[in-house]
Chain A
Amino acid sequence: MDLATFLVQCLNAVQYGLLLFLVASGLTLIFGIMGVINLAHGSFYMLGAYLAFALAPLFGDWFVTRLAVGVLLAFAFGYLLEWVFFSFLYERDHLQQVLMTYALILVFEESRSLLVGNDVHGVAAPSWLAGGFELGGLMQYPWYRVFSSVACIVVALALYAVVNRTRLGMMIRAGASNRDMVRGLGVDIRLLYRIVFAGGVALAALAGMIAAPLSSVYPGMGGSVLIICFVVVVIGGIGSITGALVASLLVGFVDTFGKVFFAEWSGVGVYLLMAVVLVWRPEGLMKRGI
């Protein structure tokens, strides 16, 4: 492997890892703060991708506007969903949550099939991000992937700022470390939950919208992302955003380079990584650090 190929693979790994981080950060917050095992989180990624597909004709090259509108729609959707389906689940057993969110996956998949059909769709990248830059003379690295990484970094920084520098973030951090105490101090925990949940949905949908031009839009796309994100959350430590970031990048590198070096055995790599980490640290890399 020459240097240019190596660099391209590294960029791919970072780009994939950061995209995973967007989905996983929402999942880890919902997990850590609300204590809900949300199997349906992958569906929100799918929702984002299909939103990108549906909104594409309306906005044309106004790509960033399209993303913003999509995020708002997803936030509203998440807010409603929490209100209708999740608000009565908190006091229940974990198993019931698994059952409920599994059922939601079925419902979402079927709704997708009813609304958009079962075809694979492509979503074009905006024309101002077409092409790529030269790398080592022979290789070309697409601008859209660069945009994807930069966008994810911006969102990650914004998330960091919100969680660590605002009053809402303070409540979120407090909620992650001691739920009952926060409730005891008079914080409206229901509203907090609703916002965190909707925020997680919006993040996952944003990831789906950014990923749509890269991976195309297809049925069942939520499932694989969901499982990988669970791996990320568990490696990073449940409830820890920093842990999720470290773990997503690790998973990104293991997955990308596994495909280069081991080809057909590559699917195993990520899970092997998770097993090794958990044997070494049974509660993930950073437990509840945020």
Chain B
Amino acid sequence: MASDALTEGPAADVGALPDIARREAGGWRVPAAAVLAIALLPLVVSPYGIDLVLRIAVYAIFALSLELLVGAAGLVSLGHAAFLGIGAYATVLGSGDSGGSVAWLLPLAVITAAAYALFAGALSLRTRGVYFIMVTLAFSQMAYFVLHDTQVGGGSDGIFLYVKPVLQFAGTTWLDLDDRLTLYYTVLGALVATYLFLSVLLDSRFGHALAGIRVNEQRMRAAGFSTYLYKLAAFVIAGALAGVAGFLLAAKDGAVNPELLSWHESGAVLLMLILGGIGSLRGAVIGAAAFVLLKELYQSQAIVGPLADHWQMTLGLTIIVFVAVLPRGLIGLGQRLRGKAP
């Protein structure tokens, strides 16, 4: 940021922050085509490919939920995995041994995650900047240690989800998440719904207020906005959406463990945003896909051979190169190629 301000003047710096009105200036055709392509994918790819797409979609929802905080409100949280993990744990604990219905398990996951977000957000939003990063981390670590060290959620081994959630209504089973294809379309539907919800939200008065807070909180307060409540609302919504991702992750994996809440996971989702390019919903989805695919590629024995054992090295070096040459993420690269950005 600072170098931009020096070379292009302060006005350019503000301009570099994505303006809500033209956030998704690329139109709706590309995303719609992408959704259609993904929807048709099960016809051609193997179960392995479906699983990969599933993972990308779940993480995309997770990344989107963080994008509301980081990109829209300018609140960098390093503890977002807590809400993913809490949503997943709520799903598994709520299912018990006999399983449960989507109709109440999903709200349970969302409400539990949102409740913890309300608690953590109310306290951590008192701080700002680097302190905020660290306090959110502290709250996620608290949740991590509760689940890791106590028997509340099966300790460090986690717990299995024996019966996947189903949705039954009037005697018929509408959704059975044990079925891979049903799960696939459910997750895809959830991703589209999250994306649309966030684009509507960011385009609303609320979203504009968040953008205002990100750019100049002082001025927003002077204009009569109670910025704290706006930020808290964003924090809770982001937590709730992460809870949705947690629900889907539990349904996909059929097990949860405390590592879901670890700071590595929180760091990874932040990486997805940065990789994709902060300040755009599309960037969050692209970043999630890029991160999951890169990791998969570097771990694949078939493609990179013996290097697969050292995927951390290759992934790490790739990220370093990204930082060095792509300060605005993959979205920025796309814009540069189309000549829209400097």
User: B-contacting residues of A (Cβ < 8 Å)?
Assistant: 31, 37, 39, 85, 88-89, 91-96, 98-100, 102-107, 109-111, 113-114, 223, 227, 230-231, 233-234, 238, 264-268, 271-272, 274-275, 278-279, 282-284
Chain B residues bordering chain A, tally (CB within 8 A): 49
Most buried by A among B70, B142, B150, B317: B142
Out of B130, B137, B141, B312, which one reaches A94, CB within 8 Å? B130
Given contacts A103-B316, A268-B145, A282-B127, contact A96 B327 (CB under 8 A): yes
* Interface contact A264-B323, CB-CB below 8 Å: no
Q: How far is the CA of A223 from the CA of B312 in the complex (A)?
A: 15
Q: How far is the CA of A88 from the CA of B127 in the complex (A)?
A: 28
* Interface contact B313-A106, CB-CB below 8 Å: yes
Most buried by A among B137, B141, B322: B141
* Interface contact B142-A91, CB-CB below 8 Å: no
Residues of chain B from 267 to 317 with CB closer than 8 A to chain A in the complex: 267, 270-271, 274-275, 278, 310, 312-313, 315-317
* Interface contact A95-B127, CB-CB below 8 Å: no
Given contacts A100-B320, A106-B313, A110-B312, contact A234 B134 (CB under 8 A): yes
* Interface contact A102-B267, CB-CB below 8 Å: yes
* Interface contact B141-A271, CB-CB below 8 Å: yes
Given contacts A99-B271, A275-B123, contact A227 B137 (CB under 8 A): yes
Residues of the A chain whose Cβ atoms lie less than 8 Å from the Cβ of B128: 282
Query: A92-B327, A110-B312, A227-B137 known; 15 other A-B pairs, CB under 8 Å?
Result: A91-B3, A98-B78, A99-B274, A103-B315, A104-B316, A106-B319, A223-B264, A234-B138, A264-B149, A265-B145, A275-B139, A275-B142, A278-B124, A278-B135, A283-B131
Cβ of B324 under 8 Å from chain A: yes
CB proximity of A57 to chain B, nearest CB, Å: 27
Q: What does DSSP make chain A's interface, helix, strand, loop or mixed?
A: helix
Residues of the A chain whose Cβ atoms lie less than 8 Å from the Cβ of B264: 223
11 residue pairs from A and B, CB less than 8 Å apart: A93-B327, A96-B323, A99-B275, A99-B323, A238-B130, A264-B149, A267-B149, A268-B146, A275-B139, A278-B124, A278-B135
Most buried by A among B2, B76, B123, B145: B145
* Interface contact A271-B316, CB-CB below 8 Å: no
Q: How far is the CA of A266 from the CA of B139 in the complex (A)?
A: 14
* Interface contact A102-B138, CB-CB below 8 Å: no
CB proximity of B270 to chain A, nearest CB, Å: 7
Residues of chain B from 141 to 177 with CB closer than 8 A to chain A in the complex: 141-142, 144-146, 148-151
Out of B123, B131, B151, B319, which one reaches A99, CB within 8 Å? B319
* Interface contact A107-B146, CB-CB below 8 Å: no
Residues of the A chain whose Cβ atoms lie less than 8 Å from the Cβ of B145: 265, 267-268, 271
* Interface contact A230-B137, CB-CB below 8 Å: yes
CB proximity of B83 to chain A, nearest CB, Å: 16
* Interface contact B320-A104, CB-CB below 8 Å: yes
* Interface contact A278-B315, CB-CB below 8 Å: no
Closest chain B residue, CB of each to CB of A105: B316
Residues of the A chain whose Cβ atoms lie less than 8 Å from the Cβ of B316: 103-107, 110
Q: How far is the CA of A39 from the CA of B264 in the complex (A)?
A: 11
* Interface contact B149-A265, CB-CB below 8 Å: yes
Given contacts A234-B135, A274-B138, contact A100 B323 (CB under 8 A): yes
Residues of the B chain whose Cβ atoms lie less than 8 Å from the Cβ of A98: 78, 267, 270, 274
* Interface contact B138-A95, CB-CB below 8 Å: no
Closest chain A residue, CB of each to CB of B320: A103
Closest chain B residue, CB of each to CB of A114: B310
Cβ of B247 under 8 Å from chain A: no
* Interface contact B320-A275, CB-CB below 8 Å: no
Q: How far is the CA of A89 from the CA of B324 in the complex (A)?
A: 9
Out of A95, A109, A266, A282, which one reaches B149, CB within 8 Å? A266
Q: How far is the CA of A272 from the CA of B141 in the complex (A)?
A: 10
Out of B150, B274, B310, which one reaches A95, CB within 8 Å? B274
Residues of the B chain whose Cβ atoms lie less than 8 Å from the Cβ of A107: 312-313, 316-317, 320
Cβ of B338 under 8 Å from chain A: no
Q: How far is the CA of A91 from the CA of B131 in the complex (A)?
A: 20
Closest chain B residue, CB of each to CB of A99: B274
Q: How far is the CA of A200 from the CA of B131 in the complex (A)?
A: 21
Closest chain B residue, CB of each to CB of A272: B142
Out of A89, A92, A106, A231, which one reaches B315, CB within 8 Å? A106
Cβ of B184 under 8 Å from chain A: no
* Interface contact B317-A231, CB-CB below 8 Å: no
CB proximity of A286 to chain B, nearest CB, Å: 14
Cβ of B126 under 8 Å from chain A: yes
CB proximity of B259 to chain A, nearest CB, Å: 12
B 1-16 to A, binary, CB cutoff 8 A, 1 in contact else 0? 1110000000000000
Q: How far is the CA of A111 from the CA of B150 in the complex (A)?
A: 34
Q: How far is the CA of A62 from the CA of B79 in the complex (A)?
A: 44
Residues of the A chain whose Cβ atoms lie less than 8 Å from the Cβ of B148: 267
Residues of the A chain whose Cβ atoms lie less than 8 Å from the Cβ of B134: 230-231, 233-234, 274
Residues of the A chain whose Cβ atoms lie less than 8 Å from the Cβ of B35: none
Q: How far is the CA of A233 from the CA of B133 in the complex (A)?
A: 13
CB proximity of B175 to chain A, nearest CB, Å: 37
Q: How far is the CA of A275 from the CA of B119 in the complex (A)?
A: 11
CB proximity of B147 to chain A, nearest CB, Å: 10
Residues of the A chain whose Cβ atoms lie less than 8 Å from the Cβ of B3: 91-92
Residues of the A chain whose Cβ atoms lie less than 8 Å from the Cβ of B327: 92-93, 96
* Interface contact A227-B263, CB-CB below 8 Å: yes
Q: How far is the CA of A230 from the CA of B127 in the complex (A)?
A: 15
Residues of the B chain whose Cβ atoms lie less than 8 Å from the Cβ of A271: 138-139, 141-142, 145
Q: How far is the CA of A223 from the CA of B267 in the complex (A)?
A: 12
Residues of the A chain whose Cβ atoms lie less than 8 Å from the Cβ of B141: 227, 267, 271
* Interface contact A31-B130, CB-CB below 8 Å: yes
Residues of the A chain whose Cβ atoms lie less than 8 Å from the Cβ of B320: 85, 100, 103-104, 107
